[in-house]
A and B are shown apart, each in its own frame.
Chain A
Amino acid sequence: MTGLFHFANLVRAGIRDNQLLWMLVAGFALFPLFTHFADLPFWNDVAMRIMLLGVAAMGLNLVLGYGGMVSFGHAAFIGIGAYCVGISQFFGLSNGLFHILLSIGVCGALGLVIGYLALRTTGIYFIMITLAFAQMLFFLFVSLEQFGGDDGMSIDRADFLIIDLYEPLRLYFLIWVALALVALLLMFIVRSRFGVTLRAIKSNEPRIEAMGLVPLHFKITSYVISSPDIMHWTRSGEIMIIIILGGLGTLAGPLLGAIVFLLLEEFLPLALGAVAPAYAENWMILFGPLLIMVVLFGRGGLIGLLDKAGFARIGKRKMAVK
């Protein structure tokens, strides 16, 4: 009861960005309990996909939301990570910990190279260059016949230390741990000296140079941090939509966006099927305008809407103006 009372007070005062993030993360920890008792195991899969996209979106949000750099190439990093696992399995290496370290290392190194080259440009040129790199990598891997080529590569669930990942809930909680770690890491980074300087660069680059700092160093670093996170640019676009839907430059936004995005993907076809069965396949007709409406009226995505409705408080800006 007191917990509930506390929660009600929290809502009245306005939930803060980081509080909302941890509520969502905690929600994912408890979710399997719900699916178990409600006998809806299928929804565990949906939750896993939400968490995975959420992690990717949180990574990209560091670059896009906090750093103000529109990178269209981020899907490439997820793809590289996946191929790191696939190719090492192809050569008989099945240790999950090794896969993780290899993926982080390769993605970080690629992020450094791509970031170093692409970040010399800004605006539309930056978007085009990151897109070009992503497409280059996409076609490179598609052309590798021995690794599946056009059909893609299927990955076995690796042996992760002593955890058998064929046990569905274990995979679920491994993903959850990754989500919680990324959330924790981002929360620290965003508030750190590095994080506030990155936000300041987005706000006013010449002023940061006038403080004797080199903006490029911060941008590349954020790019490398965010990259160790499916290869085609439409996937990058999807992650970007998730961030904008949830709330650009907020901690909880990307995860909230991933939840709503994937739930809409699940429910819209069902809802449309119930009303007009013939059009169930064309659910995107509703999906598109819905996203546009949130972005237009939300101005700051779903978090922005919550903020307007008085349920959330983003940062301390609101408190500062008394």
Chain B
Amino acid sequence: MMPDPVLELRGLNKSFGALTATSNLSLTVMPGEIHALIGPNGAGKTTLIQQIYGALKPDSGQVFLNGRDLTGLSVPERVRAGIGRSFQISNVLMDFTVLENGMIAEAARRGQSFRFLRPAFSDSNLIKGASAILDRVGLLDRAHLPVGDLAHGDRRMLELALALAASPSLLLLDEPMAGAGPDEGQRMTEIIEALRGTVAILLIEHDMDAVFRLADRLTVLVEGSVIAAGTVAEISQNQAVKSAYLGDED
């Protein structure tokens, strides 16, 4: 028997005026799998992520996480329900150090952000939790650097660490390799690879080498619709995908 999916989208529709960004879209992400969402620019990948995350409201259709209907919930409610996210443009707390970033996330995870008296940044429990978060992405040795002094790739790592801090059941990664050099891209690929099996991941990525290496399953999106879905081997043999998307690269 198949396990229940972590994420299930049922008949999502979203249009902006005459432009259809998401068209009757259904999709499942299974526990522990890395599911890549690919498609040409303007296919509606980020729009779809935004609807799963709650930043955009679908015109119709439903979003289920672990069987729970999230459709009416706000972003923070969905995060607490178990969705973690990295953004297309790296999104970390610039005015703080790497460790402080981790500590603020750790305080949020513990539901302690509304405490007023004890100093936050000298709390040993928060330091411990934040260090564990940073260790997962190999940033522990740069913990005391201000985020502004981090290399681009390290900021992406930090963002991934912050998204992982709350132990989400689903991780939405929107182009994690974007703007990264070859080494940084390689490091990011290895870290995502290491997450396989621990958290379900929905990945948008243009770097096809990374996608083929990481993805357990692929969904191909064109003009807001799924034109193909399956394993890497199935998709690479699919004629419709070749002409609509991969064919573009020849």
Contacts and interface: CB of A to CB of B under 8 A. Distances in A.
Given A210-B91, A212-B108, A317-B146, A192 B96 contact: no
Interface stretch (A48-56, A111-119, A198-206): A198-206
B166 A192 contact: no
A221 to B, nearest CB: 8
Interface in A196-222: 196-197, 199-200, 202-204, 206-214, 217-218, 221
Given A192-B119, A320-B97, A213 B162 contact: no
A203 B96 contact: yes
Q: How large is the interface on A (under 10, 10 to 19, 20 to 34, 35 or more residues)?
A: 20 to 34
Contacts of B113: 193-194, 197, 213, 218
Given A192-B115, A200-B93, A203-B94, A212 B149 contact: no
Interface string B127-159: 000000000000000001110010000000000
Interface stretch (B3-11, B33-41, B99-107, B240-248): B99-107
Contacts of B165: 211
B145 A191 contact: no
Contacts, number: 103
B91 A206 contact: yes
A192 B113 CA distance: 9
A211 B104 contact: yes
A192 B118 contact: yes
B175 to A, nearest CB: 16
Nearest to B103: A196
A11 B122 CA distance: 25
Given A197-B104, A200-B96, A204-B91, A210 B114 contact: no
A210 B93 contact: no
A200 B100 CA distance: 10
B144 A207 contact: no
A212 B166 contact: yes
A189 interface: yes
Interface of A: 188-189, 191-197, 199-200, 202-204, 206-214, 217-218, 221, 317, 320-321
Given A211-B79, A212-B166, 15 more contacts: A188-B116, A188-B119, A191-B121, A192-B116, A193-B113, A193-B118, A194-B115, A207-B93, A210-B87, A212-B109, A213-B108, A317-B146, A320-B97, A320-B144, A320-B145
Interface of B: 74-77, 79-80, 84-85, 87, 91-97, 100, 103-105, 107-109, 112-121, 126, 144-146, 149, 162-163, 165-166
25 contacts: A191-B120, A191-B121, A192-B119, A195-B116, A196-B103, A196-B104, A200-B93, A200-B96, A203-B93, A203-B95, A204-B91, A208-B104, A209-B75, A210-B84, A211-B108, A211-B109, A211-B165, A211-B166, A212-B76, A212-B77, A212-B79, A212-B166, A213-B108, A218-B113, A321-B149
